Chain A
Amino acid sequence: SQQGEEDPQALSIQEGENATMNCSYKTSINNLQWYRQNSGRGLVHLILIRSNEREKHSGRLRVTLDTSKKSSSLLITASRAADTASYFCATDANDYKLSFGAGTTVTVRA
């Protein structure tokens, strides 16, 4: 079973627009992480936000975390064609494993 659920399942945007995706989870966590996957290959770590943090930025990425609602969002600003990928949230409940959602597939149109 998967801990996180991403929403929407798929997203299609124009280059230059912002992309927002959400993640909900079920249990208490130590931190929440976002990963990107291109064409079914390895995952690339994007950003980690700890349970005592509410917002974090990294370049064009902005992540928020609301532990009371057990939810997180990932915002990609000024999207580029290279941002086309699947994005996964993963929760770390301090039990030596990451629990992933099913992912959001983002397509950036030129």
Chain B
Amino acid sequence: DAGVTQSPTHLIKTRGQQVTLRCSPKSGHDTVSWYQQALGQGPQFIFQYYEEEERQRGNFPDRFSGHQFPNYSSELNVNALLLGDSALYLCASSPSSFHEQYFGPGTRLTVT
């Protein structure tokens, strides 16, 4: 049984560009959350998707948007990249009725 998978593993972008990160949840999980982890800090909640809708959102600007597909996979889009968007982006999945989250290996985004 595959766990949470994310792609790509690493990504380098230039300021002002747009990026799309992808996540496939663990089998049987229908809820996907995205977190941003800057170097030396704990993960910060971006948003959560359930039934293809954004259910909860953290304190992130509208440049951060997402999508969940009918197969429960999800995308995180970031527009107009800033240097400060450089971070590890983590996807986590869970069954809707449980609170424990299973994390993927993350995508390391570097903005130059």
Contact of B56 among A30, A41, A97 (CB under 8 A): A97
Q: What's the least CB distance linking B51 to chain A, in Å?
A: 12
Residues in A with CB closer than 8 Å to B105 are 41-42
B88 close to A98 (CB less than 8 A): no
B103 close to A97 (CB less than 8 A): no
Contact with B along A66-110 (1 / 0, CB 8 A): 000000000000000000000010101001111111110000000
Report Cα–Cα, A67/B48, bound state, in Å.
26
CB within 8 Å for A45 and B99 given contacts A101-B42, A102-B41: no
B90 close to A102 (CB less than 8 A): no
Contact with A along B64-101 (1 / 0, CB 8 A): 00000000000000000000000010101000000111
Report Cα–Cα, A17/B14, bound state, in Å.
46
CB within 8 Å for A43 and B43 given contacts A96-B48, A96-B55, A97-B48: yes
**Residue of B at shortest CB range from A102?**
B42
Q: Classify chain A: how many residues form its interface, as a range.
A: 20 to 34
Number of B positions contacting A (CB below 8 A): 28
A42 close to B45 (CB less than 8 A): no
Contact of A2 among B42, B100, B103, B108 (CB under 8 A): B42
**Residue of B at shortest CB range from A92?**
B99
Q: What's the least CB distance linking B72 to chain A, in Å?
A: 16
CB within 8 Å for A48 and B100 given contacts A42-B106, A95-B56, A96-B56: yes
Residues in B with CB closer than 8 Å to A40 are 39, 88, 106, 108
B99 close to A44 (CB less than 8 A): no
19 intermolecular pairs with C-beta atoms under 8 Å apart: A1-B59, A2-B42, A2-B44, A4-B42, A30-B99, A31-B99, A40-B108, A41-B105, A42-B103, A43-B103, A45-B103, A48-B99, A92-B99, A95-B56, A97-B33, A97-B45, A98-B33, A98-B35, A100-B35
Interface residues of B (CB under 8 A from A): 4, 33, 35, 39-45, 48, 50, 55-56, 58-59, 88, 90, 92, 99-106, 108
Interface residues of A (CB under 8 A from B): 1-2, 4, 30-31, 33, 35, 40-45, 48, 88, 90, 92, 95-103
